[in-house]
Every structure is written in C-alpha cells, then in structure tokens.
Amino acid sequence: MHIHILGICGTFMGGLATIARQAGHRVTGCDANVYPPMSSQLAAQGIDLIEGYGAEQLGLTPDLWVVGNVVTRGNPLMEEILDRGEPYVSGPQWLAENILHTKWVLAVAGTHGKTSTSAMLTWILEAAGKRPGFLVGGVLQNFGDSARLTDSDFFVIEADEYDTAFFDKRSKFLHYHPKTAILNNLEFDHADIFVDLAAIEQQFHHFVRTIPRSGLLLANGDDKALARVLERGCWTPVEHFGGSGRWQAEALGVDAFSVSYAGREQGPVRWSLFGEHNRFNALAAIAAARHAGVDPGAACAALGRFESVKRRMELRGTAAGVAVYDDFAHHPTAIATTVAGLRRKVGKARILAVLEPRSNTMKLGVMKDALPGSLAEADLVYCYSANLGWNPAGALAPLGAKAACYDDLDALVRAIAGAARPGDQVLVMSNGGFGGIHQKLLERIGAIG
C-alpha cells in the first residue's frame, strides 16, 4: 500500500512513517518545514519528502492519506482531498488498525514523564530479550531512534492526550487500547484545546474505560487528579506507585535508589539519572515490565545501563568550565522538577536557567504566574521573549534582579556567556530547537574563556 503522510516531520508522524515503512508499505509525505534531523531520519528509511502542502500532490495517487493533527481546514492539499472524496485517516487510527491491534500494547500517559518512562520501559523489555516495538516522542539513546517495528508481541507507545486530528477531537490515546497502561500524573496543560483540568480528566477517564479487565493499570499514588479519574469508575486491576502504593522507591544517594514491591525489596538501581521524578518514572516502568513478564530485579539491573532520551537533561558540552544542558521542560511543574533535580546533583554550583516559553500553553500566557516559583532554585534566569503575547518581564518580576528577558537571540547568548563563569551549569529549557542556542553558547563561552 502507498500511504502519503501530511505533517510527516512531527515526532509522532515521523515515527509512524518509519513503522509503516518497516511494515512494508510505500511511504511518502509532506510538511511545511522539511529539515534535519527528521528529514535525514526519514530519508535514511527511503521515504520521499515534499515541502509544503500543494494540491498538486494529488498526482501521487496514494492508496490512503494519513493526516497529522498539525493539518487544519484551509490547508490546500487537505481541501482538495476532501473535495475529491479521497480516503483519509488520522495517524493514531492508522497505527491502531494496522499495527497495534495484534500487539500487547504498553501505553504511558500523563502530563509529565511520558517520553522518559516509555524509554525506560522499552529498554527494560529489550534487555529482557522481548525486542519490543515502540513509538516514543524522543530519540531513545539506547536505540538511536524514536520508533521501530519488530515481530515481538510487545509494543510500547507514548500515549498523548492531545487531540487526534481536525476531524477527530478525541485524545490520541483513545485509539491505542492498551493491555498495560501507566498514568504518571495529571495537571492542566494544552490550554489551546482544553478549557480546564476537568476537561482533561474526562479524556483520561475515557482512556481508563478502554483498558480490559485482564489488563493492568499503574497509577501515581500521590496524584489527586488521577485519584478523581479512577473514582469515576475503573474495571481493571490497579497498582499504585508512590504514595501508599505497593511500589516504592527509596533514595540511596543522588544517583541510586532501591525498589520495593509489597514491602519486599526487589533490587537497587544505580544509574546516571537523578531526581525524584525519574525515580517515579522508573517505578512505573519496572511495574509495567513485571506485568509483561520481566522480573523486577532484572528490570532494576537493566536501568543501570539505561542511556536516557535526547533532550532530557542532556549535557550538550562544556566550555571554559561551564556545562550546557538541554532539556525539554516547558510546563512550570516540569521546569521546577528539572531545576530541582539539577540542584540536587550540583549542590551549591550556580545554575543559569534559560527558558523559551514556546509551547501553545506557554505562548498563551496561561501559566505565566507560576514561572517565578518554578525557577526559584536557579541563581540566574534568562527568558527568550520573542513572539509572546504577554509580558515575561512582568511575570518574572518577583525574581528581582536575577531574571532578565531578551527578544533577540544573539543578545541573549551574549548576556548568558558574559555572566557565565567556571563551574556554572547552564540549563536550557525549550520544547523546540531554540535557534541552536546550545552550540552558540558553547562557542561564545569558549571564545571568552
């Protein structure tokens, strides 16, 4: 079958394209912005890309058009597809009907930690010899890719609550029908499509309704919103991690912790990650892997060889004694957790937090009042303020002189490099490429140093 994917360069749709190609389909695609690294990854799979959404692409005559949620009404190619009555489907629906329906699906949902937890779970299953397929919203460093298809019965998927497509406003995860499901946490996010937290809880409860009674639901025992979701009805066995749940983690230092289940120690985890949030992610992954037949002790040992995900507290380099990190954090809770985790690691060393409020929710300014508290543990705060409809300087005013905003990227780089000194930790947080700021900082700091 020849499928043509609209919006192919997004993380999810690019991963889907890889899986479709590995399944033997002819795959082509288009996007508004076709550039590395996704364009390179797709080209390596033999997938031809077209830049733009010109209606002339109808001449490709694919058997099916697969539509990403970046595509809206008014898109010239989509309008022509509709006018001609061409067959089309959303990415999540195609994946469910063509790949997932024969698999033991392990789905990871939640506001924070989906990518990291999915990566941990995938690696644990791989280390146990189960060779899972996966589709995750980041590059898994143990695998060098964000997606793959295997002949294994197991498939790990990052289960996103964002809507499916312009013609299907249900959350993506409603298509996946997992046997094992993780609910990491639940907060208000995606203010562009959800009016409040209750609206998101509704979608999560719809998700809970899709999990069979023969399955397993793993939920964060500390999360009140998830408790409300489950109180609305649950037909699947539930195990909690954290809180008063059966799965517990006890810190053994900055980079180690012990895991216990029902009061019995299962093993230690000694790894390169840090922070309570990663311990919770690991607990969920170990518990889900147990449901798939992996001994928790073996799972703990596997995490000692886990290499994390690109853009999750990734050290991009060091120049003149200054370390520059890249992290995907863009929600105030994730920002606070990331800064706190780095603080626990580096002690009294200065942290220079650099933020690009780029997500749809942050661009709307819905959570701007929470930013000062989320950045409180940083010593200096820099915000890139271009293309925002609200005043970041005013929002960050409670931080006083330690916060500064710049709407020019080069000026921002100069300011950070000028302030940095040996031993400093520069923590860059954005859900986008941030104009290549990481390399620019390393080069300028190195030149000054």
Per-residue confidence (pLDDT) for residue 342, from 0 to 100: 87
How much is the pLDDT for 40? 77
Question: According to the model, what pLDDT value does residue 254 have?
Answer: 77
12-16 — which CB contacts under 8 Å span 24+ positions?
Answer: 12/68, 12/91, 12/135, 12/137, 12/160, 12/172, 13/66, 13/68, 13/91, 14/38, 14/41, 14/42, 14/146, 14/147, 15/135, 15/136, 15/146, 15/147, 16/66, 16/91, 16/94, 16/95, 16/135, 16/147
Q: Using N-to-C axis directions, what is the helix angle for 296-303 and 114-127, rounded to 10°?
A: 110
Least trusted range by pLDDT, from 174-178, 279-283, 285-289: 279-283
Lay out the sheet containing 425-429: strands in order across. 314-319, 322-327, 425-429, 351-355, 380-384, 403-406
Has residue 327 got a pLDDT over 90?
A: no
Residue 219 vs residue 337, higher pLDDT: 219
The percent of residues above 90 in pLDDT, for the chain, comes to 59
Q: pTM to 2 decimals?
A: 0.82
Give one DSSP letter per residue of 350-382, joined into a string.
-EEEEE---SHHHHTTTTGGGHHHHTTT-SEEE
Cα-to-chain-centroid distance, residue 294 = 24
pLDDT of residue 56: 97
Q: How far apart are CA 115 and CA 328, in angstroms?
A: 10
pLDDT of residue 20: 96
User: What is the rounded average pLDDT for all residues in the chain?
Assistant: 90
Q: Give the per-residue pLDDT at 298.
A: 97
Structure-block tokens of residue 320: 């003149």
Q: Is the pLDDT of residue 30 over 90?
A: yes
For residue 92, the model assigns a pLDDT of 97
CA atoms within 13 A on the CB side of 99: 33
**pLDDT at 337 > cutoff 90:** no
State residue 257 phi and psi, 5-degree precision. Answer: -160, 160
Q: How confident is the model at residue 374 (pLDDT cuts 50, 70, 90)?
A: confident
Q: CA 341, 116, 214, 249 torsion: positive or negative? A: negative
- Is-cis flag, bond preceding 62, omega within 30? no
pLDDT > 90? residue 66: yes
Where residue 229 falls among pLDDT bands split at 50, 70, 90? very high
Question: What was the pLDDT predicted at 365?
Answer: 67
All structural domains of the chain: 2-91 (3.40.50.720), 99-303 (3.40.1190.10), 314-448 (3.90.190.20)
